[in-house]
Amino acid sequence: MIGLISATAAGAATRDRLAAAWPDRTRVYEGPVGDAVRAAFAQCEQLVCFLATGAVVRLVAPLLSGKTADPGVVCVDEGGRFAVSLVGGHAGGANELAREVGEVLGAEPVVTTATDAADLPGLDTLGLPVEGDVAGVSRALLDGEAVALRAEVAWPLPPLPVAAEGSYTIRLTDRLVETAERQVVLRPPSLVVGVGASKGAPVEEVLGLIEGVLREAGLSAASVAELATVDAKAEEPGIVEAARRVGVPLVTYSAGELAAVDVPNPSDAPLAAVGTPSVAEAAALVSGGELLVPKRKSAASPAMATCAVVRRPGRGRLAVVGLGPGARDLLTPRAKAELRRASVLVGLDQYVEQIRDLLRPGTRILESGLGAEEERARTAVEEARKGRAVALIGSGDAGVYAMASPALAEASDDIDVVGVPGVTAALAAGAILGAPLGHDHVSISLSDLHTPWEVIERRVRAAAEADIVVTFYNPRSRGRDWQLPKALDILAEHRAPTTPVGVVRNASRPDESARLTTLAALDPATVDMMTVVTVGNTATREIAGRMVTPRGYRWQEEPE
C-alpha cells in the first residue's frame, strides 16, 4: 500500500488526483501531518508526501532504521511539478515510484541514485539476494574501474560493464562462500529441494534436515528457489511450515509424474504410501537439473523426513520486442523496459540505430543486414540458451511479418520466451488516414520471396469476394513491380472504381506522407516498400478528407 500525505489544499488536490488514478494502491492519511507520516511509515510499503522536501526530511529522519527496512518515500511539490525519490530509491522502490507518479501527474521524476544517474542497474535491484561490498563494487562500476564477473551458474542478468579480470569482483554462485574484500556475491535461485515426510513430521525435523544438508554440501540457502514434494503431502504441516520459514513456494507433483522420473535411490516405502518409489529425489529432479545431493534422511529415530537437492539450469530469456512504426512516442513502455533489461540485443542494423540510445552500457549488440532474418532468429535463441537475457527486435509488432515467427520456430521449451507487442504499420497508417479499419480487415504481404504468388493471389481473391478491407504490406519494389497492379485488378472485380484507397509512406516517421485516392486512380508506380496501401470495402467512404469504414453500433435485428 502507498500512503498519501498532504498539508495544504493545493497539495490535497494533487494528492487526490493520484488517489483517483490508483484507488486500489493508495490510502490517504488525514489529520496532523506528523501523525499522518508516522502512521503511514509504519503501515505502508511506500509513501508519497505532497510537501516540501525539507519538511519531509525532518518528519521521516527520526523514523529511519535501515535501507532494507524503510519504506520508499517520494516527495511531490504542491504544484505537482516534480516527483523526488527521497528515501529507499532501490530497496524501497522509490525510484520507480517517482517515475510512475510522474507519468500520472505529468511531473518530472527526480532520481539522484548514482547508478540510475549513470544508467547502470543497481546490484541491489537485480532481484537476487546480494552479499558483500555492494557500495564498493557499485562505486567501481561507476568510476569505470575493471570489475570482473565470475558466473559459476549461468543465469540471465541485465547488462553490466564487466571485464574478464579486475580488482573488483561480482560472483554469481549458489555455493556457501564468504565474501572477500572488493567482492559482491549474487545468489541465483538455482536450487530445488525435494522433500518427503511421514505424516505428522515436525517442522523442526524437516527444516533441520534441509538446513543441515545444504550446509554439509556447501550450498547457500539464499539460492533455494522452491521446496518440492508429492501432491499427497501438499498440506503436510511440517513441509508447509518449512517452506514458509525458508521463504520459498511449495511446489507439488502427482505421484504419476514422480514415478516417471528415473532416480538413483527408489524405495518401496513411498511407493506403498503415496504411489511413487521416490518423493524427495523425484520431486527435485522432475523439472530437470543436476542432482547435487541424493536422498538424505533426518537423524531422528525413526526418521520422518527426507530431502534431496538439485541445481536447475539457468533458463535464458528471449524477449521478442516490437519497436512500433518508428516514432519514439509509439514505442511502448514495456518495450523500453525489455531493451534495458537485455544483456544481448539482436536486430536489423537500421532498427538497432533507432533504439541504440535506450540501451544500458555493457549491452552486447549483434546486428546484421536485410536478408539475414533466420540467422538473427537462430543467434537470439542460441544466446538465450546460454542463460542470457536477450532482446530480439523487429519493427511494428514483432509477430506481424517480423521476427517472432522465425524465432519461435527455433526456440524450444528450454528457454523463457516473452512477446512484447508493438504498434503495427497498418495501425499507424490507419490512424493517419482516419478509420479505414473500422470493420473487418485483413493484412496481406505482396512479397513473393518466401510465399508463392499463387498462394498470395488466392488470399487476395478471398478478401475481395468477402468484401474485407485490405492492407497491403511490401506492395512494390524495384524487382517486384507487377504484384500490386495484379492485386488491385482482383479487388476491382468486386469493388467500384471509386472505392477509397489510402497510401501512407513512412508512417509516424519524420518524412511521413499520406494521401487518399481511389481504386481507379491509384498509380502503383508511386508506391514502394516503405508504403502501406489500404483498400476500402464497399462500405468505406471518404468523409471530410478522411477514410472511414463504418461499423454501425446498432444491434442487428433478429431474424423472424
d(CA 491, CA 534): 12
Peptide bond into 302 cis (omega under 30): yes
Strand-strand pairing, 72-76 and 82-87: antiparallel
CA distances from 551 to 186, 427, 534 (A): 56, 17, 17
* 338-341: long-range pairs with CB below 8 Å, 24+: 338/391, 338/418, 338/420, 339/391, 339/393, 340/158, 341/158, 341/389, 341/391
d(CA 82, CA 88): 17
Residue in the block written with cell 505428522: 200
3-state secondary structure 485-553: HHHHHHHHCCCCCCCEEEEEECCCCCCCEEEEEECCCCCHHHCCCCEEEEECCCCCEEECCEEECCCCC
pTM over 0.95: no
Mean pLDDT, 10 residues at a time, over the chain (560 residues)? Answer: 91 90 92 91 92 90 86 90 89 88 91 73 82 88 87 85 87 90 92 94 95 95 95 93 95 93 88 86 91 93 93 90 93 92 93 92 90 92 92 94 91 90 95 96 92 96 96 92 95 96 94 95 93 96 95 57
Integer-rounded Cα radius of gyration of the chain: 30
Q: What is the pLDDT of residue 532?
A: 95
d(CA 319, CA 342): 8
Question: What is the sign of the dihedral through the CA atoms of 394, 399, 401 and 405?
Answer: positive
Residue in the block written with cell 512504426: 325
pLDDT in tens, 492-536: 999 999 999 999 999 999 999 999 999 999 999 999 999 999 999
Q: What is the pLDDT of residue 118?
A: 66
pLDDT in tens, 383-396: 999 889 999 999 99
Q: Compute the half-sphere exposure of residue 128: CA atoms within 13 Å on the CB side of its CA.
A: 25
- Report which of 325, 359, 329 is spatially closest to residue 343, judged by C-alpha positions: 359
**Contact of 142 with 114, CB cutoff 8 Å:** yes
CA distances from 85 to 91, 140, 342 (A): 12, 23, 25
